[in-house]
Structure 1
Amino acid sequence: MREICVIGGNRYFGKRLIERLIAAGDRVTVVNRGSSAPPAGTVHLIADRDDEKSLEAALGSRTFDVVVDQVCYTPRQAEIARRVFAGRTRRYVMTSTVEVYEYEDSADPVGEDAVDPRTVAVDTALPWDDPEFLESHYGEGKRQAEAVFAAAPDFPHVAVRVAHVLGGADDFTGRLEHYADRIRTGEAIAVPPVNRPATYIHVEEIADFLFWTAGEDFTGPVNAASHGTLTTRELCAEIGAHLPDGRTVLEAVEVGEVSPFSFRRSYGMDNSRATRLGFPFGDARSWLPRAVAETLGKDH
């Protein structure tokens, strides 16, 4: 039986990861602020991860085989986690994001070496506690968090750079509903004049990936994305299939906010490292109908 700690993980693919760990016979400890109960069958520790003393007190003398950190958004949080979990775990898995590549505008899928966290400058003095600043610097916060872990060679860690996640009736983001609402009424959907494709991953697949990663021994950044890219038109076509009386109107806008999942730059990730390591990704176009049906089925 492995001892696994999951920080956060109460919803969406984190919840599915915990279900997989429990089904495999792992003993799972969930750390959160106590605002919601973790899945049944887990040990629940209440702590504020931003408060080092609170986190240390909650953990006590516990040690783990693997820690999966679902909610590390800033270098400050990473520094606290690195100090607290040093000597407590053999492996630390941080859930990162495709957004770390926000400055890598390439027509080709980007590999992990495009952003080497060992070369990323860390600035903990930035206003990371300001929600508006954090939201507008999401990719930068994740980049710097990765850099904090990468600066400690004696702290074995993985940064899972997750593609855009689709699927599940419990998708809380509202991004597919954004399209469905507009297709149903024929309202214009704002997109860039040149709308780039992106890589995606199904909610069940990223849960599978994190579960698999917990059992492996590789380290460093790794891209997690299904094979192939999807465009806004492909998403709209699949959503439109569920709304036969609707109408899809894409309106190109030069400036201003555009719809979610429409991009002025490419967000394609190269998943070959994970594939070589042995993870069998699915094809995004194959699971897209399922993802849309799951997310919209509850309302449409």
Structure 2
Amino acid sequence: MRVLVIGGTRYFGKLVVQKFLSRGDEVSVLSRGNSQPDFWNNITHIEVDRDDAEAMAAALGKDEFDLVIDNIGFERSSVEISADLLRGRVGKYVVTSSVSVYGGIGHSETPWQKITPENHYLHHFTEPGIAHPIAEDSIELSKVEWELRAGINPYSEQKRQIERYLSETTELPFVVLRAPIVIGPSEYAGRFWWYLQRVLDGRGMALRNNGRAEIRLGFTEDIAEAIVAAALSNNTSGKTYNIGQTELLTLKSFVEKIGESCSVEPRIAGVSDDAVKRYPEIPWSDWRYEPFAWPFDVAMSIDRAEADFGLSSAPVAQRIRETIDWHMSADLKDSYGYEYRDIEAELFKVSAQ
């Protein structure tokens, strides 16, 4: 098969390329050429800025592809350029979207947002207590605004716009994959490191909502495998899927699994809302701080992906071990908010009483 990967030089994009190469497929990678992974001599590189429509037209020429995997569609304008050029010339166009389309972590400038008739379709992650798991049809794409709205994270808005655009575009067999927060080896965003560093220092961790937030994670290797499986399946054209690990965890069980893998007993206490208010120095409203703590009791359903293309994943414990190994070998700075560690330790002592 002829496969084009847009954004295949970093993170799980590299793994997607490697998986197609291992199948014997003819793989082209479209990028600016700033990074050249080990497989560079085994692929055709198309060096271009994907946001330059004229340059993209020249670079792609009249090429046709069986599959296009778009891992770096962060803005609607970017996806429009590639989709318009490839319409009628691609067997399937697979776009990696995000759990953030439902709202959630980083969705708004404050953790919870008032529900209005205009934004009611975003309520799943912007109001606590909504039923879960969230199915793919929870979002009414026809009501997604084309204009970016103040107070809402533009990443989430752009991903919704991309999905609406694809759903209304003809002659382009698309597949949308809504990935959860992706962690694993080479994860420099520091989400996993936030918890691992605090488990390792042994000073205790006070988790909001007693660590009961339910999370469906995605580890790089399994996300890459899901992308390839969805692309190759005969059942996926024109559909949207939630993907992620098959195991659903609470935040507390996630931290405990990190401790088990490190042979460390994690010291965990639940922090009350009142206690949070007594420690305003801690950046509670920043999603980078205790990044898996909210939204509360929400997770994506993966039933459709399991049924249509056999979504599966390795045991979370295995992926956690692999991720810890990478973190221990990497030269990492302190995790986000670690300068407040003394205050956190004090909060832990108060919460554990």
What TM-score range do you get, normalising by the shorter chain?
A: 0.7 to 0.9
Distance, in Å, in 1 between the alignment partners of 2:55 and 2:219 is 35
Aligned match of 1:54: 55
Distance, in Å, in 2 between the alignment partners of 1:31 and 1:93 is 14
Aligned match of 2:253: 234
> In 2, are the aligned partners of 1:118 and 1:151 still within 8 Å (CA)?
no
Quick one: which amino acid aligns to residue 223 of structure 1?
N
Distance, in Å, in 2 between the alignment partners of 1:25 and 1:69 is 20
Question: Which whole-Å deviations, capped at 9, do the CAs of 1:68-127 have from their partners, x for residues lacking one?
Answer: 00000111112222222223212110001111111314332111100143442222xx49
Aligned length: 288
Write out aligned runs for 1:148-297 (5 A): 148-167=165-184, 169-187=185-203, 189=205, 191-193=207-209, 195-217=212-234, 218=236, 219-244=238-263, 247-250=266-269, 252=271, 253=276, 255-257=284-286, 258-282=289-313, 287-297=315-325
> In 2, are the aligned partners of 1:191 and 1:263 still within 8 Å (CA)?
no
Aligned match of 1:122: 146
Displacement of 1:246:
6.5
Displacement of 1:49:
0.9
Q: 1:190 to 1:76 in 2, by over 3 A?
A: farther
Distance, in Å, in 2 between the alignment partners of 1:231 and 1:24 is 36
Q: Which moved more, 1:20-29 or 1:212-221?
A: 212-221
Quick one: which amino acid aligns to residue 66 of structure 1?
L
Distance, in Å, in 1 between the alignment partners of 2:131 and 2:75 is 29
> In 2, are the aligned partners of 1:186 and 1:249 still within 8 Å (CA)?
no
Quick one: which amino acid aligns to residue 256 of structure 2?
A
Displacement of 1:295:
1.3
Distance, in Å, in 2 between the alignment partners of 1:212 and 1:243 is 32
> In 1, are the aligned partners of 2:200 and 2:264 still within 8 Å (CA)?
yes
Q: Secondary structure at the match of 1:90?
A: strand
> In 1, are the aligned partners of 2:76 and 2:159 still within 8 Å (CA)?
yes
Quick one: which amino acid aligns to residue 82 of structure 2?
A
Displacement of 1:245:
5.4
Question: Which whole-Å deviations, capped at 9, do the CAs of 1:217-263 have from their partners, x for residues lacking one?
Answer: 42221111232411221121122224445743456336533412221
Distance, in Å, in 2 between the alignment partners of 1:95 and 1:197 is 22
Quick one: which amino acid aligns to residue 274 of structure 1?
A
Q: Which moved more, 1:234-243 or 1:39-48?
A: 234-243
Quick one: which amino acid aligns to residue 292 of structure 1?
I
Distance, in Å, in 1 between the alignment partners of 2:25 and 2:248 is 34
Q: 1:78 to 1:267 in 2, by over 3 A?
A: farther
Q: Secondary structure at the match of 1:160?
A: strand
Alignment match of 1:112 (pick from 125, 136, 150): 136
> In 1, are the aligned partners of 2:98 and 2:178 still within 8 Å (CA)?
yes
Distance, in Å, in 2 between the alignment partners of 1:10 and 1:113 is 32
> In 2, are the aligned partners of 1:185 and 1:247 still within 8 Å (CA)?
no
Distance, in Å, in 2 between the alignment partners of 1:69 and 1:280 is 19
Q: Secondary structure at the match of 1:19?
A: helix
Displacement of 1:277:
1.1
Distance, in Å, in 2 between the alignment partners of 1:244 and 1:277 is 38
Displacement of 1:138:
1.9
Quick one: which amino acid aligns to residue 143 of structure 1?
R
Displacement of 1:179:
1.0
Distance, in Å, in 2 between the alignment partners of 1:87 and 1:190 is 54
Write out aligned runs for 1:133-152 (5 A): 136-152=153-169
Question: Structure 1 residue runs of 4+, over 6 Å off?
Answer: none
Question: When you count helix as a share of all residues, which structure comes out higher?
Answer: 2
Please give the TM-score of this superposition, normalised by the length of structure 2. Answer: 0.74
Q: Tell me the C-alpha RMSD between the 2 structures.
A: 2.5
Q: Could you tell me the percent identity over the aligned residues? A: 28
> In 1, are the aligned partners of 2:229 and 2:309 still within 8 Å (CA)?
no
> In 2, are the aligned partners of 1:187 and 1:249 still within 8 Å (CA)?
no
Q: 1:55 to 1:267 in 2, by over 3 A?
A: farther
Distance, in Å, in 2 between the alignment partners of 1:241 and 1:37 is 36
Structure 2 stretches lacking a partner, 5+ long: 104-121, 278-283, 330-353
Displacement of 1:202:
3.0
Quick one: which amino acid aligns to residue 237 of structure 1?
E
Q: 1:262 to 1:65 in 2, by over 3 A?
A: same
